[in-house]
Chains A and B, each alone.
Chain A
């Protein structure tokens, strides 16, 4: 493949722009970057608009924008579950996350594991939550690199060995450097550019469909013909009855997991007031609309006659086929920049978890705020280099499998985090055992299917194939409930809860200089 000079120039120009922004971000809404909640949560001072861009840029990752249309291209309607998933995530966010924001504000919690530790008084349970978060986040960061790799490759930059990986290494070293200096402010600022570019690229692509491909009716008809002719059958344009269970359970299971991912919590906690979280639960679905349109581009690619060797190449190939070079460069830059925002937030979230719930709890309890921040900055570098080494060193499929397992694992923190936000019925030790059982069950079920997200049960003549994450969560909840009863009966003491009921409902009152109590 020949290098596309025009596309490459546009690409490099935009990448240069966000690099400057990334470093400049350290000066934005200036705070003391030697403190963890300044570096890792940007001082909790983002309003509605900044949070909208940051959380949207963080959750709708470059990998998503490549993988969802690829799934629709490959399997049809089944791949569209991403839409109900990202619709249902928001009522859940609205009901749950304001409580987390409020209580975190009261107690200066930075991570979900901080909350669990405060609620249940158990370092062990907090450690389990933190390690689950780190484990689930690492492969997710690696997948952002895959997104970047795909578009770099599609511009004709290929090579063997180190030379082939060089553009990726450069991009990631730059990312690591400004995340180190600017913390969460860097991805927040870059998210503005990223999201506007993605919206522009997708809307142009959607608007071009009627003119270039003869309209949506034609696109759906072409997809239908295509799926009818594929041997062996790969999917269909209208969801088949056999896929109902997996479609619904993947949607609800993924929606339940979305906001307990560490990077989502980081985005939420950086809001400056609880109303920002609530309003964003109303406004963020705009990104789901975008995702739905992107998903449909998978059918557009079928109608356009795109043929690729790997599904992840569908989107880049579609853009190259239909659009002029400069626009291809723009769209590819949007995807590459789209990889930077989540990669930065995820590495910050993982670094916060490591610093708060491993380093500070176990290694250096006397650490000052400055030492915490320094440790977090350093561990964010380690996390990113780890992801880079992973992508260069091992087959991409491993990262994809691990990310899939990551979703199943994260769901096992639901009882401790989400149920914990509403009450303290569960015994902390029961939660730990339930978590362990869920992790084991989820991993084993998934491996038994060759690392797949669903597991088929046959009941009489009917077959159900629900999402393994939910199966494991049921195991988790059953163990947690039974052991809570057992431990309480056996008189095993519960630990102290440092939170109180009203702290979940409202932020701390603003401290005023003169007391009104007299």
Chain B
């Protein structure tokens, strides 16, 4: 049985998004646009840090 497949529709596929977003550095290895003095390369990854936590929270709440 797959995780979370106990009847309720779940959103496990959301957890794949951070991997797609972060495992292809060609997508984000650039300086512009900057944000608060941070090059894109850095703030993009920080944004995904929070997004990943939020997506995990969503999957958690939906699979309870």
Contacts and interface: CB of A to CB of B under 8 A. Distances in A.
Indicate whether A and B interact.
yes
Interface of A: 77, 80, 83-84, 87-88, 90-91, 94-95, 98-99, 215-220, 237-241, 243-244, 247-248, 251-252, 278-279, 281-283, 285-286, 288-289, 292, 296, 501, 505
Interface string B31-55: 1001011110110011011101101
A337 B56 CA distance: 31
B45 A292 contact: yes
Contacts of A292: 42, 45-46, 49
A87 B38 contact: no
10 contacts: A77-B29, A84-B45, A87-B48, A91-B18, A91-B19, A94-B60, A95-B3, A95-B12, A216-B36, A292-B42
B9 interface: no
A422 to B, nearest CB: 8
Nearest to A93: B56
Nearest to B17: A91
Contact of A244 (B1, B6, B25, B34): B25
Nearest to A219: B37
Contacts of B57: 282
Given A216-B36, A247-B25, A88 B18 contact: yes
The 4 tightest CB contacts between A and B, nearest first, are: A217-B37, A216-B37, A239-B29, A91-B15
Task: Give the most central of A91, A217, A247, A281: most B CB within 10 Å.
Answer: A91
B56 A296 contact: no
A90 B38 contact: no
Nearest to A289: B49
A162 B60 CA distance: 53
B56 to A, nearest CB: 5
A95 B15 contact: yes
A237 B39 contact: yes
Binding site of A, secondary structure by majority: helix, strand, loop or mixed?
helix
A270 to B, nearest CB: 20
B37 A94 contact: no
A269 B7 CA distance: 27
A251 B24 CA distance: 11
A241 B25 CA distance: 8
A279 B26 CA distance: 32
Nearest to A299: B42
Given A77-B29, A238-B31, A90 B53 contact: yes
B20 to A, nearest CB: 11
Given A248-B24, A505-B1, A238 B30 contact: yes
Interface of B: 1, 3, 6, 12, 15, 18-19, 22-26, 29-31, 34, 36-39, 41-42, 45-46, 48-50, 52-53, 55-57, 59-60
B22 A238 contact: no
A216 B45 CA distance: 16
Given A77-B41, A288-B49, A292-B45, A94 B59 contact: yes
A238 B41 contact: yes
A227 to B, nearest CB: 13
A282 B1 contact: no
Nearest to A85: B22
Contacts of A94: 15, 56, 59-60
Nearest to B28: A239
A80 B45 CA distance: 10
B60 A285 contact: no
A88 B22 contact: yes
Contacts of A239: 25, 29, 41
A252 B45 contact: no
A125 B50 CA distance: 38
A353 B13 CA distance: 35
Contacts of B26: 241, 244
Contacts of B30: 238
B23 A248 contact: yes
A363 B48 CA distance: 49
Contacts of A220: 37-39
A272 B23 CA distance: 34
Contacts of A237: 31, 39, 41
Contacts of B49: 83, 87, 285, 288-289, 292
Contacts of B59: 94
Nearest to B25: A244
Nearest to B51: A87
A244 B29 contact: yes
A248 B21 CA distance: 11
Nearest to A283: B53
Given A88-B18, A215-B37, 15 more contacts: A77-B29, A84-B45, A84-B48, A87-B18, A87-B45, A88-B22, A94-B56, A94-B59, A218-B37, A220-B38, A247-B25, A248-B23, A279-B60, A281-B56, A282-B60
Contacts of B23: 84, 88, 248, 251-252
A218 B36 CA distance: 11
B41 A99 contact: no
A251 B41 CA distance: 15
